[in-house]
């Protein structure tokens, strides 16, 4: 499947080389936490919700009723419903099907869907609702588990695209969500996977679609999902671990960057991300320049879809209802709006190709003229009188917040596949450089043979063991044979990596 991409495979730099091996843990390594779990029949007591979970499934995604503006209500459970349990064997079968080859699963899970109180990323911090799916292991990995918050990759912004629904018409993106979450659940962690605000109660006033890559919007829903899991299961430790893949890697890092200001269920003690799209959003504007944007046709690249989703949803959230359409050509604006509100990720090409081949085919020329060259950064800044340009340049640079304070010292694990043609090495390196400039506490694990999706299956066991080391007192897994030094590409510029 295709994911958000900022560079075609032709621009990728292969990292595969002789002598680099995929395994990052010695064959004889024994996780003492898992050994305790196996010896005792379970590392901890059974985890149960603190509220009755007898609401209907439809109510999870419906009108939540009045929402308090009191920040103390962030993460409050609004509705909860019970889904069928997952057996250990079912989890094992699914992870094996999608490429996992690590240590066997040790736990099944009780599954719930919830809606919880959060806030949008607009200036008013509008009270909102998000839906999510929760997995509680029947054989916990330890007596006191951390709150594990998972951030899913791109799925589209329509209501049926919500990850918690696992719509069967979206097999590719569903497989990515299973890759991210099931190995953690099957290794005994309690996990919440949020849809993000905008999917539940879709289309209601003051509830625009989830804002794609708008750092504040996605971070608040994510951080409040951790609060929701802790409130649902008070027996969990208050400490939080963030995990994300692709666009969810961006979400996890944005959450870490904004956590100190917004608040969390407890301290974030680790962040593990796979192939994170930790890129300057200047790219979304700069690629409206035809000489750059024509490298990314919709039939082979997700760039046009990313540009549409980012700009439309940002305008709807920050400028108000109906403002998203105004960024696009008049004869295509209705179709663009329908695409955003009704389509999921696997319909990107089908829905956008009839409207044009490149991102610049969709946008209003006045908007392109205003923002594209200043976004590139080498053709001059925004004119002093161009308020539209200044507004969007501030958004482009603001939507990759710096890591400061406690976020700088929080351990970050990044897993990356050397065969990734979605997040090519030149752009992956931009994210690494930015984290380095912030002084972040980063370790990198590279599997030279894996791509954008299968890196998750490849390193899921390693990530589970790494979480045990930061949260449960287990030894740290051995450093990967291939780390940051294997990424020999330089950051792709312009635009500047700010």
Distance (Å, whole) CA 476 – CA 32: 11
Which of 3-12, 60-69, 140-149, 318-327 is predicted with the least confidence, judged by mean pLDDT?
Answer: 3-12
Higher pLDDT, 5 or 459: 459
* Helix (H), strand (E) at residue 193: strand 191-194
266 domain residue, yes or no = yes
Per-residue model confidence as pLDDT tens digits over 215-224: 999 999 999 9
Give counts: helices (H), strands (E), the chain: 16, 9
**pTM (2 d.p.):** 0.91
The pLDDT, as a whole number, for residue 46 is 84
Do residue 342 and residue 428 come from a single domain?
A: no
Distance (Å, whole) CA 113 – CA 84: 11
Do residue 109 and residue 257 come from a single domain?
A: yes
Do residue 119 and residue 141 come from a single domain?
A: yes
pLDDT band at 75 (very low <50, low <70, confident <90, very high): very high
Do residue 126 and residue 202 come from a single domain?
A: yes
493 domain residue, yes or no = no
Computed from CA positions of residues 200, 204, 207, 212, in that sequence, does the dihedral angle turn out positive or negative?
positive
Mean pLDDT, rounded, for 18-45: 39
491 domain residue, yes or no = no
Do residue 179 and residue 70 come from a single domain?
A: yes
Do residue 315 and residue 267 come from a single domain?
A: no
Do residue 56 and residue 68 come from a single domain?
A: yes
Tokens standing for residue 223: 């951080």
Do residue 211 and residue 240 come from a single domain?
A: yes
Do residue 268 and residue 338 come from a single domain?
A: no
Assign 435 to helix, strand or coil.
helix
Helix axes 215-232, 247-262, angle to 10 degrees: 80
Q: For residue 465, how far is the Cα from the chain centroid?
A: 21
Helix axes 171-186, 454-471, angle to 10 degrees: 30
Per-residue model confidence as pLDDT tens digits over 450-473: 999 999 999 999 999 999 999 999
Range of the domain at 376: 282-398
Mean pLDDT, rounded, for 33-41: 40
247 domain residue, yes or no = yes
160 domain residue, yes or no = yes
Per-residue model confidence as pLDDT tens digits over 338-354: 999 999 999 999 999 99
Q: Write out the E strands in 224-322.
A: 240-245, 268-274
**Residue 405 predicted with pLDDT over 60:** yes
Among 345, 374, 398, the domain boundary falls at 398
Do residue 415 and residue 377 come from a single domain?
A: no
Phi, psi values for residue 281, rounded to 5°:
-75, 0
Do residue 474 and residue 441 come from a single domain?
A: yes
Neighbours of 19 (CB within 10 A): 7
61 domain residue, yes or no = yes
Neighbours of 460 (CB within 10 A): 28
234 domain residue, yes or no = yes
5 domain residue, yes or no = no
Among 398, 426, 460, the domain boundary falls at 398
> Count of domains in the chain?
2
Do residue 157 and residue 176 come from a single domain?
A: yes
Among 357, 381, 398, the domain boundary falls at 398
CATH number of residue 43's parent domain:
3.40.50.1820
Whole-number Cα distances in Å, 248 to 152, 244, 307, 331: 5, 4, 17, 33
């Amino acid at each position: 499947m295709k994911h958000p991409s900022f560079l075609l495979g032709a621009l990728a730099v292969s990292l595969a080389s002789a002598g680099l091996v995929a395994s990052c843990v010695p064959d004889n390594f024994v996780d003492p936490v898992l050994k305790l779990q196996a010896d005792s029949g379970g590392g901890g007591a059974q985890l149960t919700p603190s509220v009755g979970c007898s609401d209907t499934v439809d109510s999870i995604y419906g009108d939540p009723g009045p929402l308090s503006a009191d920040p103390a209500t962030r993460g409050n459970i609004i509705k909860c419903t019970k889904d069928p349990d997952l057996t250990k064997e079912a989890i094992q079968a699914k992870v094996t099907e999608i490429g996992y080859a690590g240590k066997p699963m040790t736990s099944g899970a009780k599954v719930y869907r919830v809606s919880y109180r959060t806030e949008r990323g607009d200036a008013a911090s509008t009270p909102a609702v998000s839906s999510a799916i929760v997995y509680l292991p029947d054989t916990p990995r330890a007596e006191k588990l951390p709150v594990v918050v998972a951030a899913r990759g791109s799925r589209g912004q329509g209501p049926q695209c919500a990850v918690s629904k696992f719509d069967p018409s979206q097999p590719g993106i569903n497989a990515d969500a299973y890759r991210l979450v099931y190995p953690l659940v099957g290794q005994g962690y309690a996990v919440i996977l949020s849809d993000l605000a905008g999917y539940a109660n879709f289309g209601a006033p003051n509830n625009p679609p989830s804002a794609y890559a708008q750092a504040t919007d996605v971070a608040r829903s994510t951080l409040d999902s951790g609060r929701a899991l802790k409130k649902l299961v008070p027996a969990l430790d208050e400490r939080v671990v963030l995990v994300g893949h692709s666009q969810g890697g961006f979400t996890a890092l944005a959450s870490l960057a904004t956590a100190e200001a917004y608040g969390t269920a407890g301290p974030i003690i680790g962040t593990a991300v796979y192939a994170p799209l930790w890129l300057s959003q200047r790219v979304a504007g700069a690629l409206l320049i035809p000489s750059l944007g024509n490298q990314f046709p919709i039939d082979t690249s997700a760039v046009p879809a990313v540009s549409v989703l980012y700009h439309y949803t940002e305008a709807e959230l920050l400028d108000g209802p109906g403002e998203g359409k105004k960024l696009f050509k008049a004869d295509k604006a209705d179709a663009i709006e329908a695409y955003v509100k009704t389509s999921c990720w696997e319909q990107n090409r089908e829905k956008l190709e009839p409207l044009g081949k490149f991102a610049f085919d969709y946008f209003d020329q006045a908007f392109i003229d205003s923002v594209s060259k200043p976004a590139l950064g080498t053709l001059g800044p925004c004119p002093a009188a161009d308020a539209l340009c200044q507004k969007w340049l501030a958004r482009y640079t603001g939507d990759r917040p710096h890591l400061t304070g406690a976020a700088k010292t929080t351990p970050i694990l990044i897993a990356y596949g050397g065969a990734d043609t979605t997040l090519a090495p030149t752009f992956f390196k931009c994210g690494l450089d930015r984290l380095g400039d912030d002084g972040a506490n980063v370790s990198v694990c590279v599997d030279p043979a894996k791509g954008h999706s299968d890196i998750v299956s490849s390193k899921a066991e390693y990530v589970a063991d790494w979480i045990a080391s930061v949260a449960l007192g287990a030894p740290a897994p051995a450093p990967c044979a291939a780390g940051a030094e294997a990424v020999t590409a330089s950051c792709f510029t312009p635009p500047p990596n700010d």
